[in-house]
């Protein structure tokens, strides 16, 4: 595998498992040193990267908490800063709007959207100092589809797209690009248990896609790696829908 990210350091949030782990492994395989951040234990991802000959540092961090993100920023500064920030951390519960409490609304918005504000603010001074940087934020095709039973989730993913569009022109003079990726339902350890699998959502969504199979993390890892590369230097402010042709608008 080529190493287009050699010499770069990438922060990946929500990287203990699932999509974040896949992004961390792909960027590491392409030469980046990875800061693996998650509220859950990060040792497994760090060990996988190191076993493959890569370099990684694990940091347990609650990216929805300003004090925790400030501590993460200090750790990053000690490591010499980052070039790439992949804002991946998020949750995806389903709650009918009539039953949704304000606490549930605020908790999800904090994890899925506030975290991107906090983490991007934390790494921005280093990106500006380098006059080069990549910020990737995870959105979802659920924003485009307006899926019922997830008003807080859909709102958060719409907010991600708005944040990316607003930040792109602000940060472009500093050599920093900002983009979002919107996947469909991806089979991960988290989505393979509970509601998604039990409700038959994987088969239903695959049947609606142009490419009729369930999306897996590797379908997205290469896209993240590309958007973090030099070759993607003229792409900013965009939301790239990567969903097997589910959304065709």
Catalytic residues: 153
What are 246's two structure tokens?
A: 């589910």
Q: What is the dihedral of CA 81, 82, 88, 90, to 10 degrees?
A: 10
Q: Retrieve residue 170's tokens.
A: 């602000």
Q: Which two tokens stand for residue 191?
A: 């989505």
Name the nearest CA neighbour of 65 among 12, 120, 110, 106.
110
Residue-wise burial string across 171-182, b where 16 or more C-beta atoms lie within 10 A, e elsewhere: beeeebbbbbbb
Q: 184: helix, coil or strand?
A: coil
Tell me which residue of 158, 165, 159, 164 sits closest to 143, measured CA to CA.
Answer: 158
Q: Sign of dihedral through CA atoms 131, 137, 141, 142?
A: negative
**DSSP character string of 7-48:** T-EEEEES-SSHHHHHHHHHHHHTT-EEEEEESS--HHHHHH
């Amino acid at each position: 595998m080529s190493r287009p990210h050699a010499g770069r350091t990438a922060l990946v949030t929500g990287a203990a498992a699932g999509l974040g782990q896949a992004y961390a492994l792909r960027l590491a395989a392409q030469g980046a040193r990875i800061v693996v951040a998650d509220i859950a234990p990060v040792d497994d991802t760090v060990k996988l990267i190191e076993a493959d000959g890569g370099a990684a540092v694990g940091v347990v961090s609650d990216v929805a908490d300003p004090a925790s993100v400030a501590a993460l920023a200090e750790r990053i500064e000690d490591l010499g800063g980052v070039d790439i920030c992949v804002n991946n951390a998020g949750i995806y519960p389903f709650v009918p709007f009539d039953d949704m409490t304000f606490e549930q609304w605020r908790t999800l918005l904090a994890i899925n959207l506030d975290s991107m504000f906090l983490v991007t603010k934390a790494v921005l001074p280093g990106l500006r100092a380098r006059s080069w940087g990549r910020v990737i934020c995870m959105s979802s095709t659920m924003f485009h589809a307006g899926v019922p039973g997830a008003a807080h989730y859909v709102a958060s993913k719409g907010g991600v797209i708005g944040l990316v569009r607003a930040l792109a022109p602000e940060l472009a003079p500093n050599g920093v690009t900002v983009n979002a990726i919107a996947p469909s339902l991806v089979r991960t350890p988290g989505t393979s248990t509970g509601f998604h699998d039990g409700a038959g959502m994987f088969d239903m969504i695959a049947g609606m896609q142009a490419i009729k199979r369930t999306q897996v993390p590797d379908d997205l890892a290469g896209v993240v790696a590309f958007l973090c590369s030099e070759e993607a230097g003229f792409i900013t402010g965009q939301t790239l829908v990567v969903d097997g042709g589910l959304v065709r608008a």
